[in-house]
Structure 1
Amino acid sequence: MKFGFGLPHMTRLKGSLQPWETVVTGPDQLRMARRAEQLGYDMIAVPEHFVVPTSHIDLSGPHYFHGIAGMAAIAGATETIKVNSCIMILPLQNPIVTAKGLSTIDWMSGGRTIVTFGVGWDKEEFDILGVPFNERGKMADEYLAAMIELWTKDKPEFEGQYVSFKDIAFEPKPIQKPHLPIWMGGDADAVLKRIARYATGWWPFLTKPDQIGERIDFIKSQPDYKAGGDFEVMYGLATARIGEGHKVIDDPNARSDMGAQQIIDRIGFFKEQGVTMTSVPIPPVSGIEAYLDHAQWVIEEIKPKV
């Protein structure tokens, strides 16, 4: 089982924020990222929203990064750990600019970039940015195909409804071949079918843990499933605490105060469902050093047993 490291103050979600996190700075986060790498964590992911409508601030909080900028900062501060997004809202991006940003991070980091795309859920955010919410699925499919064309072809050409290009050069290509790993976040059938066509990883959010296995089977049953034996699934122990629209859910199996054996058993259940990467929520602590102490405990006491 691989382990993701959750940096504090990446968001201010009502369901997970600890009060001390709000004073954690960007330089603090980069120092913690380096420590997570030293401890042996496998990945750090960066959440993204461009704006948060005031109607959602109570649950979602106002604080989110630009995914590519955050990923680049973490990649530049580290040497071996993978950097990912969680999630990057694909229809709100220009696919050519996004492909360039991601390939640049992958090239400059020596091939350590993963991207997790989602189609978005907040119609108000789409309206503010002038993107048609009801077309986001079609846009995502087209953007994915266009980015893969840019990443993999010496003479990329693409003709679509939302993006077209020809007679262009596009470099640097990603270090990873055929291109950097694409994961998708989300739970609907349309998302899972998109994963089969374009992705090698899935980050479920609203899918219940005991349904993950059957949903993986659904992905792999699609006629255009392409991932082969390298399919990754990320599901954190605390994921079930956050519901649709960032609603707080009281799930006894997702508490942050579980003991070691409870955590080991739960991760074992995830593994049986097909999960390949997880994260362990930090219980209430007093600050950065206590947070890092618990992160070290997870690596020393939990990871070897799962």
Structure 2
Amino acid sequence: MRAAYLDGLATLFYDGSIEIYNVDLHAELEGAKVWWKKLRSSSSDIEWDSLNLSDECKETVRGRQLLEQIVILDGVTVIPEFTFSDCWNLKRVIFANSVTRIERFAFYRCCSLTYIKLSINLEVIGEQVFDTCNLNSVFIPPRCREIGDFAFRSNKNLAIFHVPQDTEIGRFVFYKTKLFAKSPFRNSVESFIDHREEIYNWVKNINNDEEYSLHRIASSYQPTLEEIISIIVEKGLTPLRTENSIGITPFQYMLENPYTDVTEKDIIQSYIRKLLGED
């Protein structure tokens, strides 16, 4: 386990060799309601001396607040429950492709977390793993078979949620998100209860109409330039700026998709070469 600066962020390189979560210290923190002081304030300062916490608990919490990025190293297969919960300043998490499971609450209430790149071999995302984070987009890899209850709830800016057809989705997975607010369903608890299967069928098929074939490619796992160009050659560049039913363009999917390195510049250059007969 080591820490360093990477891309200007205080980064923990997590190899799983040390148990980061301490159940007793977590219970002590929960009892003091420290996280509410943080989440409800625009300031990062906490009056530690006024809190009825042990020195060990204070030191542990302070250390967690230093983390801005976590890189999960190759060889780690499971992220244990609660491991990085309440890391309030954590912004980015990059998972090694060896990770197959993320257990419940692992990144719960990481309220600054805006970016994740999940393992391509991930199979299970546990209950409330990314609950109350600040993710804008989520791309679930094709091998993921299960997403637990409330896993992405209360990510208020979450507008892009690409999930494979065969993935089983638990209760209220993206409740209280921008995506659900844009859905054709009433934005309420009752609506989520009454129309759960319809809602999840809707989110899995947002881009399945032929009109959104470019959206479907751009949001998929590792979209290729060849796939994109095949549509652009047939339909022109207009589909790049066409919004789907929730207001997302293929270009936005490509910008957000952590599994693609295709850029709009690549597409336009390749398209021009096609027009000129150079390809």
**TM-score, length-normalised on structure 1?**
0.28
Higher relative helix content: 1
Task: Tell me which structure has the larger Cα radius of gyration.
Answer: 2
Higher relative contact order (CA 8 A, sep 6+): 1
